[in-house]
């Protein structure tokens, strides 16, 4: 049967452009840093290259459409469309054109592309045309939808983090008050439960978990808040992945159990608890510190907390190999350690590594992950660790990473498939020049970019690390 060439519209990436296509629109330019806040050079380039075309932009946080000649410095360029016949060189695809566009940061295009259909097709063949068009667009639409969802998630983390800075400080102070009350024998179960429920409802565990390695911490009070937040943020997903039953009475109780895991430290003198020095493993001070799981279990039992919460306090320092010196209480049996406590043990160790302390240098989240990975199956339950790793990622949210193009960015989302390729909000160029607006790069899609290494945010930015994270603007 004879065939006839017909044209359909589709959206394609630059790698899929072929000489048989005609470009109708340059789209998704905002994913490239050079079009964030047009400067003099980029403005001149666009206006000189796309004369008489129209553009979609963001100006003063509002989207608008206008002629390219009305572009101004500071505009964020979204797309270029309604290209006049005079721009044939930029619409008729050739190998030369593709090579010229690639370094300019153009990523996706709306095109007319030819398809071969039966000669003289009429209405009976319209379904073929529709199916070809739909199949082409479906994957693109799906990709764009995924990217928009990722941007919304990333923006939400930063937005929630801004709201949670004060909440976190108040929660840390409250933990100290609870410990003081416990020392005096005046700690009230209802007061603790109500407060933790309030924190769980008002705060974002996900945002607090992302901030942990970027702020000042301490060895006891903020630690309890951070561990509670991490545990609360990952536990539902881990339960879903594992097939285990949710054992708590309500959704806020995982935070309660993790929040109270170190309550036994209230029996230790504050001079020891707040000390900035490391204690010798055989010292009196260290023996007192190692008593806190048993004391915590006793206090929580007296407060009539659930058996699972008591278990979390009692056994969170028990290692899979109980002969290890770091495993205590000494008479514990690993079989008595419930699933939640095994997860808490990993969470507790992770926070202790990444949290900034007065007596030690903090680890980057990826460095902590690598360290704990080496201990999985020895100190920690291997199956639980694997669930933790898949949920937190190799590069947890809030990690500062360097990319292959020399830029720096914060990890914003954990990928579902390739843990080595998270979403990264690019914050500065390879010279260290900070961007005012930030591009979110999905490394699972952008295969030509990857992470070179993780960076210490305090070494890079000092005490402004958290401030820089909180200023991220995802376009």
pLDDT at 368: 97
Banded pLDDT at 137 (limits 50, 70, 90): low
Global pTM? 0.72
* Alpha-carbon 400 to chain mean position: 11
Both 109 and 223 in one domain: the answer is no
Both 191 and 269 in one domain: the answer is yes
Mean pLDDT across 37-57:
90
pLDDT at 139: 64
Both 327 and 228 in one domain: the answer is yes
| CATH code assigned at 334 | 1.10.3210.10
Is it the case that residue 3 has pLDDT exceeding 80?
no
Q: Domain boundary residue among 393, 415, 447?
A: 393
Per the structure, the count of domains in the chain is 2
pLDDT at 123: 47
442 within some domain: no
Is it the case that residue 135 has pLDDT exceeding 50?
no
Both 116 and 260 in one domain: the answer is no
154 within some domain: no
141 within some domain: no
Residue labelled with tokens 């930029």: 90
Is it the case that residue 205 has pLDDT exceeding 70?
yes
387 within some domain: yes
Is it the case that residue 233 has pLDDT exceeding 90?
yes
Lowest-confidence region among 136-150, 319-333, 362-376 = 136-150
pLDDT at 134: 46
Angle between helices 189-202 and 221-242 (to 10 degrees): 70
Mean pLDDT across 384-391:
97
Lowest-confidence region among 11-15, 215-219, 245-249 = 215-219
5-46 confidence digits (pLDDT tens) = 567 788 888 888 999 899 999 987 765 666 678 888 889 999
Element (H, E) at 12: strand 3-13
pLDDT at 120: 54
What distance in Å separates the CA atoms of residue 31 and residue 13, rounded to the nearest whole number? 13
283 within some domain: yes
pLDDT at 4: 56
pLDDT at 116: 67
Q: Domain boundary residue among 68, 94, 122?
A: 122
382 within some domain: yes
Is it the case that residue 68 has pLDDT exceeding 60?
yes
Both 211 and 343 in one domain: the answer is yes
User: Residue 44 sits in which domain range?
Assistant: 3-122
Both 70 and 178 in one domain: the answer is no
What distance in Å separates the CA atoms of residue 326 and residue 422, rounded to the nearest whole number? 33
Banded pLDDT at 443 (limits 50, 70, 90): very high
Both 74 and 213 in one domain: the answer is no
459 within some domain: no
The upper half-sphere exposure of residue 46, i.e. CA atoms within 13 Å in the direction of its Cβ, equals 32
pLDDT at 62: 75
Is it the case that residue 127 has pLDDT exceeding 60?
no
Both 230 and 106 in one domain: the answer is no
Q: Domain boundary residue among 393, 419, 445?
A: 393
Return the structure tokens found at 336: 């008595």
Is it the case that residue 124 has pLDDT exceeding 60?
no
Q: What is the DSSP letter of 71?
A: -
Mean pLDDT across 461-470:
93
Both 220 and 327 in one domain: the answer is yes
Both 282 and 359 in one domain: the answer is yes
Both 175 and 51 in one domain: the answer is no
What distance in Å separates the CA atoms of residue 348 and residue 319, rounded to the nearest whole number? 13
C-alpha distance from residue 438 to each of 62, 410, 427, 429, 430 (Å): 16, 10, 6, 11, 14
410 within some domain: no
Both 220 and 338 in one domain: the answer is yes
Q: Please indicate whether residue 33 or residue 193 has the higher confidence score (pLDDT).
A: 193
Is it the case that residue 360 has pLDDT exceeding 50?
yes
What distance in Å separates the CA atoms of residue 81 and residue 29, rounded to the nearest whole number? 12
What distance in Å separates the CA atoms of residue 96 and residue 90, rounded to the nearest whole number? 10
């Amino acid at each position: 049967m004879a065939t006839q060439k017909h044209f359909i519209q589709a959206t394609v990436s630059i790698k899929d452009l072929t000489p048989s296509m005609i470009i109708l629109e340059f789209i998704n330019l905002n994913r490239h840093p050079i079009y964030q806040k047009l400067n003099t050079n980029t403005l001149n380039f666009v206006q000189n290259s796309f004369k008489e075309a129209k553009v979609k932009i963001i100006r003063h946080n509002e989207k608008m459409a206008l002629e390219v000649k009305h572009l101004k410095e500071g505009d964020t360029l979204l797309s270029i469309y309604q290209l006049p016949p005079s721009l044939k060189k930029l619409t008729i695809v050739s190998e030369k054109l593709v090579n010229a566009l690639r370094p300019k940061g153009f990523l996706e295009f709306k095109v007319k592309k030819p398809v071969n259909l039966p000669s003289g097709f009429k209405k009976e063949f319209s379904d073929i045309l529709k199916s070809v068009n739909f199949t082409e667009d479906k994957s693109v639409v799906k990709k764009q939808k995924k990217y928009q969802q990722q941007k919304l998630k990333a923006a939400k983390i930063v937005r929630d983090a801004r709201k949670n800075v004060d909440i976190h400080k108040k929660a840390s102070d409250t933990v100290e008050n609870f410990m003081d009350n416990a020392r005096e024998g005046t700690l009230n179960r209802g007061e603790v439960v109500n407060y933790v429920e309030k924190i769980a409802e008002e705060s974002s565990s996900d945002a607090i978990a992302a901030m942990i390695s970027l702020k000042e911490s301490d060895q006891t009070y903020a630690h309890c808040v951070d561990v509670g937040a991490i545990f609360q943020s990952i536990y539902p997903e881990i339960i879903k992945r594992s097939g285990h039953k949710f054992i708590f009475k309500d959704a806020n109780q995982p935070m309660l159990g993790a929040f109270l895991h170190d309550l036994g430290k209230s029996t230790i003198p504050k001079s020891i608890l707040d000390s900035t020095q490391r204690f010798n493993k055989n010292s009196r001070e260290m023996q007192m510190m190692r008593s806190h799981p048993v004391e915590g279990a006793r206090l929580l039992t007296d407060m009539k907390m659930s058996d699972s919460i008591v278990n979390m306090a009692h056994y969170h320092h028990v290692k899979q190999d109980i002969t290890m010196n770091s495993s205590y209480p000494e008479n514990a049996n690993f079989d008595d350690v419930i699933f939640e406590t095994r997860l808490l043990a990993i969470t507790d160790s992770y926070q202790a590594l990444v949290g900034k302390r007065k007596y030690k240098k903090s680890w980057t989240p990826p460095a902590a992950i690598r360290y704990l990975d080496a201990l999985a199956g020895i100190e920690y339950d291997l199956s639980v660790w694997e669930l933790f790793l898949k949920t937190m990622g190799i590069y947890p949210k809030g990690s500062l990473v360097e990319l292959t193009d020399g830029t720096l960015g914060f990890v914003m989302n954990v990928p579902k498939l390739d843990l080595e390729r998270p979403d990264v909000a690019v914050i500065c160029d390879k010279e260290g020049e900070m961007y005012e607006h930030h591009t979110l790069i999905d490394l699972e899609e952008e295969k030509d970019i990857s992470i070179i290494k993780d960076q210490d945010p305090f070494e890079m930015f000092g005490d402004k690390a958290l401030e820089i994270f909180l200023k991220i603007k995802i376009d």
